[in-house]
């Protein structure tokens, strides 16, 4: 009040108003006169009360919005809780959220929003923003967790000294499981990591750079590495992969597999070579035969024209012998002429048949009474002109 310095000023100053300060105030003097003043406190009214749904991936951040419609108002109390976990308060004081949550109402009283960083699958659920225990808004947060792309058992075969990649991955490449574990089932669930002595320096994972890639690489395999390996995420989903170390079978399979194409190639090469050789051989024989026949014919012609009559007779007899050889494939007029069953007329046959009415040079040559000269007759009669 100000009446100490100003006795006539009976005014009242109230600071840091709250909703509880709302009401009617009366100033009474000398119990006679009074004045009533109605004080109304503008309460915070949420700008939205309809439920929302937000989708996020593990590792991301989310802003759960909640604010007063009038930015000059301030609620008496504000509370964020995770409904699905029994109404657990969401604040920096809670172990599950320490260092991951932040509010803005200290600097902006009407801004009641909540920021959650580095989301995990456990953060999924319904969050509720309540003010003055009267108004509230629910926000559904869905965390797209990792779902294994394959869950059927697999079989992989390798040889000692090889490397093997045991596949395990999430369907959605943006998802990230809360935890992933590789174990060797056959050895009592031994964890497969560089921290285990038998695998030190021989195993490698890729989820640091590719969170959805949970595959395991094992190098320099030994027979002791044989067995079933299990990839499990969040203690819910898993896939089993059986690794078989089979040196002999792999070598036999590889060698037989490589011999098959080589055998086919060799066989084809042999066949092609044989065909080429046969073709060339046939051509060579045909050429030699043709050359021999042509040479013989030329020699015969030359002998006939240049040699004495004796040589000519030998050549003629050779030709007649060929005509008498019934095995020959060539038709010959002389042979046909000596065959009375032939239907074809032949000059020689006619010349030997005195009943023929046709004149023939050969017949004439055998008839000394003929006046016509004949080259054959002349060749047989050395006294002819």
Write the pLDDT tens digit of every residue in 120-145: 888 999 999 999 888 999 999 999 98
Please say if the pLDDT value at position 361 is more than 90: no
Is the pLDDT at 152 greater than 50, yes or no? yes
Q: Which top CATH class is 52-143?
A: mainly beta
The total of other beta-carbon atoms located within 10 Å of residue 329's CB is: 4
pLDDT band at 262 (very low <50, low <70, confident <90, very high): low
Phi, psi of 299 (to 5 degrees): -65, -40
The pLDDT, as a whole number, for residue 309 is 47
Q: What is the pLDDT of residues 324-348, one digit of tens each?
A: 444 444 444 434 443 444 444 444 4
Q: Provide the 10 A C-beta neighbour count for residue 233.
A: 22
Asked whether residue 214 carries a pLDDT value surpassing 90, the answer given is yes
The tokens describing 123, both together, are 């953060």
Integer-rounded Cα Rg, in Å, for the chain is 59
- Residue 181 pLDDT greater than 80, yes or no: yes
Question: Cα–Cα distance between 303 and 316 in angstroms, integer?
Answer: 11
Q: Is the pTM of this model over 0.75?
A: no
pLDDT at 321: 42
Name which of 77-81, 134-138, 177-181, 304-308 the model is least confident about.
304-308
Mean pLDDT (the chain) is 77
So where are the chain's domains?
1-41, 52-143, 154-248, 307-380
Q: Would residue 199 be called left, alpha or beta, if left means φ above 0 and alpha means ψ between -120 and 50 degrees?
A: alpha
Of residues 166, 144, 168, the one with CA closest to residue 156: 166
Q: Hey, do 52-143 and 154-248 end up sharing a CATH topology, with the first three levels equal?
A: yes
Task: Tell which CATH architecture fits domain 154-248.
Answer: Sandwich (2.60)
């Amino acid at each position: 009040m100000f009446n100490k310095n100003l006795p006539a000023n009976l005014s009242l100053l109230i600071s840091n108003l709250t909703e509880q300060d709302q009401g009617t105030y009366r100033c009474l003097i000398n119990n006679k006169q009074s004045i009533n003043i109605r004080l109304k406190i503008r309460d915070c009214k949420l700008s939205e009360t309809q439920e929302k749904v937000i989708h996020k991936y593990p590792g991301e951040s989310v802003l759960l919005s909640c604010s007063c419609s009038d930015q000059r108002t301030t609620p008496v109390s504000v509370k964020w809780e995770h409904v699905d976990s029994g109404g657990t308060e969401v604040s920096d004081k809670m172990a599950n959220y320490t260092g991951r949550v932040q509010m803005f109402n200290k600097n902006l009283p009407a801004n009641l929003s909540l920021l959650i960083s580095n989301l995990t699958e456990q953060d999924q659920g319904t969050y509720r923003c309540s003010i003055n225990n009267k108004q509230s808004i629910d926000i559904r947060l869905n965390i797209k967790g990792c779902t294994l792309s394959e869950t059927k058992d697999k079989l992989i075969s390798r040889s000692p000294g090889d490397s093997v990649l045991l596949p395990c991955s999430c369907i959605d490449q943006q998802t990230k499981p809360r935890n992933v574990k590789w174990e060797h089932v056959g050895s009592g669930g031994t964890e497969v990591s560089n921290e285990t002595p038998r695998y030190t320096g021989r195993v490698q994972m890729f989820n640091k750079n590719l969170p959805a890639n949970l595959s395991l690489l094992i190098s320099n395999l030994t027979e002791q590495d044989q067995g079933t390996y299990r990839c499990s995420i969040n203690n819910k989903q898993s896939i089993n992969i059986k690794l078989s170390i089979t040196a002999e079978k792999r070598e036999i399979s590889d060698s037989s597999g490589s011999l098959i194409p080589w055998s086919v190639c060799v066989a084809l090469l042999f066949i092609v070579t044989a065909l080429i050789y046969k073709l060339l051989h046939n051509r060579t024989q045909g050429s030699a035969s043709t050359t021999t026949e042509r040479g013989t014919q030329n020699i015969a012609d030359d002998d006939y024209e240049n040699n004495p009559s004796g040589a000519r007779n030998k050549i003629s007899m050779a030709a007649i012998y060929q005509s008498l050889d019934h095995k020959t494939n060539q038709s010959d007029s002389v042979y046909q002429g000596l065959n009375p069953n032939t239907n074809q007329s032949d000059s020689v046959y006619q010349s030997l048949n005195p009943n023929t009415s046709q004149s023939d040079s050969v017949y004439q040559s055998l008839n000394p009474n003929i006046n016509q000269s004949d080259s054959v007759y002349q060749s047989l009669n050395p006294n002819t002109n």
